[in-house]
Amino acid sequence: MKVVYLSPEVAPFSKTGGLADVSGALPQSLKKLGAEVIVITPFYGNVKADKHSLEKIDIQFEVKIGDRVNIGGVHKGFLPDTHVPVYFLESERYFDRMGLYNYPGTTNDFPDNSERFIFFARGALEVIEQLKVHPDVVHCNDWQTGLVPVYLKTTYAGKACFRNTKSLQTLHNLVYQGRFGKSDMDLTGLDRSLFNWKQLEFYGQLNFLKGGIVFSDAISTVSKTYAEEIQTMECGDGLQGVLHERSKDLYGIINGIDYTIWNPETDKYIIANYGIKKLAGKQLCKKSLQRTYKLPERDVPVVGMVTRLAKQKGLDLIIAKFHDFMKLDIQFVLLGSGDTMFHEIFQGFAKVFPEKVAVKLTFDEPSAHEIEAGADVFLMPSHYEPCGLNQLYSLKYGTVPIVRSTGGLADTIIDVRSEPVDGGRVNGFLFKEYSADLLFATLVRAIDLFRKKDPWQRLMKNGMAQDWSWERSAKEYLALYKKVAKGHTC
């Protein structure tokens, strides 16, 4: 099975969110299962070529965008400690700048994002041809790759290299669709007739992700619940109809996590390593977290959060009840970056409650690990959550998740009330309705249990013992690739 994995971000080279973690891990697991897999991603200005020993290789390609012919180059590296090759598409014009999709420190998208990812989509197909890969499946991820299935069924359909190539479009977050003005259709080089409401048009705009959904041979998303949710008006973001139409080809495969990176027994970023049989280190991590964030070193529940500061993440629920939260004997530590409105609000809380609230408003990988290890409880009250990775990291770190029952959160967290804790399955706290009162009541439930040391420790250990490694999910992807390659996906 020859697979080309296309992703706009791949950890550890570039990252804005969970997609990078997935793209850094899934290809490795696929390779272990016997697939021949290569990864293609942009060569952003942030990618550290020296640190990752990337080498420029002797391939040049051309992509015509509008009237301009753009020449691209290629750098090659490997996913760390593996033989999975990663090809980085270079373009001074489109990628040699800081920031992946928007100006760093802002939420303002780059104005040329459509051109950038037309360049990436076509560039990737050009490079695949030059590498003579003849893929069985091109696995596309998110809107930035959405035009690839379109090109494969049109411009590139007659090419020998792609004669037996099928495409899978994975949706990691349906809110980000890559919508651009109608005039950008001319930049794509695609026939204008494709700009119609059944194909690339979305209420008068050009929609890259819709292209991926309509033209791919199969579609997947990152949890079974989210696969259902996106076919509804509430979560479909306007694409529910198209998705429903393709529901026979739509699959939900939950993400795994990479235990070589997220494991308290070996984590290099934390002050003391620990595991299910040796929990003492977690206390040291908690104290260190309190010291780092200048919070009193008390044995109160530390509630942690690591998140993009985006509406999706349920921050409005926290804000609505924050003053009630502060009446509880807890500490709250937040690591996040994103929307400046949220920066200001949480910065304000930290000023008003310096003994109880600490925030770090930036993107910082080591701090994410410190919070996972040092907190007692991890908060994810998301409005929607396609899969969510942090709840899975939290389980491994013995940091009990409180989550809203949506998407991947609903598929991975089992509320402590639903079964006896001794059964080993329950692993956190869940609330259903998107309500600040319910979130607050659930936090109170968690704090009550925290005080009962024995059941709390069992709950922690249940989560720590569960296996959310990539192997199982990679097997599901491989089975799906095989179905797609054979041409029957239902």
| Residue nearest to ligand ADP as judged by C-beta position | 18
Contacting range for ligand ADP; rule: CB under 6 A; set: 100-108, 138-146, 181-189, 300-308: 300-308
Indicate whether 307 belongs to the interface with ligand ADP (CB under 6 A): yes
Q: Which of 118, 128, 368, 379 binds ligand ADP (CB under 6 A)?
A: 368
Q: What is the CA radius of gyration of the chain?
A: 23
Pairwise CA distance, residues 347 & 24, whole Å: 32
Among 9, 21, 217, 411, binds ligand ADP (CB under 6 A): 21
Contact between 308 and ligand ADP (CB under 6 A)? yes
Q: Of the two residues 91 and 337, which places its CB atom closer to ligand ADP in the complex?
A: 337
- Which residue, 112, 170, 164, 162, is CA-closest to 141? 170
Contact between 365 and ligand ADP per CB under 6 A: yes
- Those residues with Cβ within 8 angstroms of residue 50's Cβ, 6 or more apart along the chain or in another chain: none
Check residue 363 for interaction with ligand ADP (CB under 6 A).
yes
Q: How far is the CB of 78 from ligand ADP (least distance, A)?
A: 21
**Shortest Å distance, C-beta 14 to ligand ADP:** 12
**Shortest distance (Å) from residue 387 CB to ligand ADP:** 6
> Which stretch, 239-247, 303-311, 422-430, 432-440, contacts ligand ADP (CB under 6 A)?
303-311
State the DSSP code for 251.
E
DSSP 262-284: S-TTT-TTSSS--BTTBTHHHHH
With contact defined as beta carbons under 8 Å apart, do 400 and 394 qualify? Answer: yes
Least CB distance to ligand ADP at residue 453 (A): 28
Smaller CB distance to ligand ADP: residue 76 or 311? 311
Residue 154, SS3? Answer: coil
The nearest distance, CB 8 to ligand ADP, in angstroms, is 12
Region from 98-106, 211-219, 359-367, 448-456 binding ligand ADP, contact rule CB under 6 A: 359-367
According to DSSP, residue 314 is labeled -
The single-letter DSSP state of residue 303 is: E
Rule CB under 6 A: which of 110-149 touch ligand ADP? none
- DSSP H or E run through 60: strand 55-65
Which of 128, 261 has the CB closer to ligand ADP?
261
Q: Is 314 in the site for ligand ADP (CB under 6 A)?
A: no
Pairing of strands 201-202, 205-207: antiparallel
Q: Which stretch binds ligand ADP (CB under 6 A): 16-24, 96-104, 425-433, 448-456?
A: 16-24
φ/ψ (deg, to 5) at 246 = -105, 20
Alpha helices in 132-170 (DSSP H): 147-153
Q: In the complex, what is the shortest distance from the CB of residue 462 to ligand ADP, in angstroms, rounded to a whole number?
A: 21
Residues 376-415 interacting with ligand ADP (rule: CB under 6 A) = 387-390
Contacts of 248 (CB under 8 A, 6+ apart): 489, 490
DSSP letter string, 372-435: HHH-SEEEE--S--SS-SHHHHHHHTT-EEEEESSHHHHHH--BTTSS-GGGS---BEEE-S--
- The 334-353 site mask, x for binding ligand ADP (CB under 6 A), equals -xxx----------------
Query: Residues in the site for ligand ADP, rule: CB under 6 A?
Result: 17-18, 21, 306-308, 335-337, 363-365, 368, 387-390
